[in-house]
Structure 1
Amino acid sequence: MTKLEPYRGGYYLWKYIPSLAAAIIFLLLFIAATAFHSWKLYKTKARFCIAFVLGGIFEVIGYIARAAAHNRTGSVMPYSIQNVFLLLGPTLFAASVYMALGRIIRCVQAEKYSLIRINWLTKVFVMGDVLSFVVQGGASGLMVSGNNAKLGSDIVVAGLVIQVIMFCFFIGTTVVFQVRMHRFPTTESFNGRVKWKSHLRVLYAISLLVLIRSLFRVVEYVEGNDGYPLTHEWTLYVFDSILMLAVMAIWAIWHPGILQESLQSDRAPLSLRSLSEDAQP
């Protein structure tokens, strides 16, 4: 019978025995979702979705480690792997979301309505995302040490707070762009080639889900090892696993690959576009 084992000197990495069944179920779901997004990436050549696929791979690795931890609760390796990869996966999802907004704006040629200069729009948010990624990733290793666990937890909270702030700023930037577009829509927004409103709704939905997950993680680490979230496994699956799976499902159903196709079409030489149009009946 599986039992909870201490890591070192009576220090317990886990406050419960991680469920093998739950880990396997979500592992299979994330494998399927990641495989689909990998196929879409290959098909659409939308390079800004590479980070999204990597986020799915991080989720897969995280749940492999959780499944392995079921019978190895005293081992630091599976605990560290699942902790780091499940913590950082959504940060990679966020990177693709940030890059998608810039492409939506360019597709409807509404650069003048961007709150941040379009050349800096993606850079600002991605740099904030990278900072959050580095802070969280660098602190995760400290959390397996009894002496530095509190320090590691505090640094992770700082990284999560950076992520929350950047998401709030991103949502505000998106709202400003949408309001300006409704007031003074560009000619390109009427051609129907890119349903920019639908893509914005996708960004809002994903941003909200990742934001809720990040706020949950902040609460989790603030309350510490003896807090309710880290002593009850169901909270992780409800406020992290399910939400991130929903993010991958939404991105799959309303995949933004058409944004890349539209931009590439706009950049095609005028003579080539004219020949193509003349050839049409």
Structure 2
Amino acid sequence: MYIKQQLFQKRETDEEDWSVFFYNPSLAATVLFSILYVIPFIYHIYISYSAQKKTSNKYFRYSYSVPIIIAAFLEIIAYGQRAASTQSTQDIGLFASSQTLIVLAPVLVCASLYVLLGRIIRSTRVTGAGIKEETGEAEKRIEVKVGGIVRVSYLPKILITLDVAAMLTQGGGSAIASAGEWKGTLEDIGTSVLIGGLALQVATFTVFLSVVFSFHQKILRHGEEGMGMVLRGVYIGGLFIMVLLSQIRSIFRLIEFALGTESYIMTNEWPLYVLEAVPML
């Protein structure tokens, strides 16, 4: 976590009464979002349980739902810890833990989106006449390629790998800077590595966004009548919205760390909720 203890807010009444926050944090807001994240947590548990009754394929049931359920749980814990941190503003460990979970949870959300897109594409096949859902006749899968090279069947694994690499890079940058107590050369190196990890995350999601858009265009070009195709279009539309919101969040984080601790974003609380908490909800 990006922390500079020497820049912690000093209270005018007592120089020793410093805070890990660069502003006066809102307890009500943190409690509210901790409660709000319970909704997607329960909802995805419910739909996962419902799917259990409709298919015997355990991989199909849980490969998509488990990451997002864990992500929702981490968000609940993260904002719960942040609520506690607002009442204990000198507890660096509690603050860093909550911030780490807030940054980590979206990685799992992204993994769910990657798997979901892969399942939608694999469930769609196309013939010369258009898209078909039936598998009893000669068909071929819709092939969406990035740059005409990468097959869509490999995309979930590639994107998840890049996302994990971005997360590890961010953690490595933070560790390097922390080793130098966020001072001097190690601070500069660590911050650069951390920003590089955030940039990789934005680039990964940009590729994913292009794939969603490309597949959606194929759906529109080859679309047939029928409830199956209508529902698939709805799923793609919903996925597209989720991807855009996640990209907004990633760009926000990149700008936040690039500008540093004295920036407007770091010294005001509302950007965290508007550009991080709301998009991930």
Establish whether TM, by shorter chain, passes 0.5.
yes
Paired residues, number: 238
Alignment of 1:46-85 (within 5 A): 46-85=62-101
Q: Runs of 5+ in structure 1 lacking a partner?
A: 246-281
Separation in 2, partners of 1:76, 1:142: 18
Aligned partner of 1:130 in structure 2 is 164
Task: Give distance in 2, aligned partners of 1:161 and 1:39.
Answer: 35
Unaligned runs of 5+ in 2: 1-7, 52-60, 127-140
1:191 shift after superposition: 4.8
| Pairwise CA RMSD | 2.6
TM-score (norm 2): 0.76
1:51 & 1:162 partners in 2: Cα distance? 21
* CA distance 1:160–1:184, change in 2 (3 Å): same
Give 1:112's aligned residue: 142
Confirm or deny: 8 A CA contact 2:10 2:18 kept in the other structure: no
The structure that is helix-richer by fraction is 1
Shift in alpha-carbon separation, 1:100–1:242, aligned structure 2, 3 A: same
| Aligned-pair CA distance for 1:11 | 7.9
Structure-2 separation of matches of 1:160 and 1:219 = 9
Relative distance call for 1:73 and 1:208 in structure 2 (3 A) is same
Q: Could you tell me whether the CA contact under 8 Å between 1:13 and 1:73 is conserved in 2?
A: yes
Q: What is the Cα deviation at residue 132 of structure 1? A: 1.8
2:274 to 238, 244, 247: 238
Larger relative contact order (C-alpha < 8 A, sep ≥ 6)? 1
Residue 202 (structure 1) aligned to one of 223, 238, 241: 238
Instruction: Give the structure-1-normalised TM-score.
Output: 0.76
Higher strand share: 2
In 2 relative to 1, CA 142–223 (structure 1 residues): closer, same or farther, beyond 3 Å? same
Verify: 1:167 aligned to 2:205, yes or no.
Answer: yes
Q: Which amino acid aligns with 2:170?
A: Q
Aligned residue for 1:275? none
2:246 match: secondary structure = helix
Identity %: 28
**Letter of the 1:161 counterpart:** A
Q: Aligned pair in 2 of structure 1 residues 84, 4: CA closer, same or farther (>3 Å)?
A: same
> Within 1, Cα distance between the matches of 2:125 and 2:160?
21
CA distance in 1, matches of 2:144, 2:33: 38
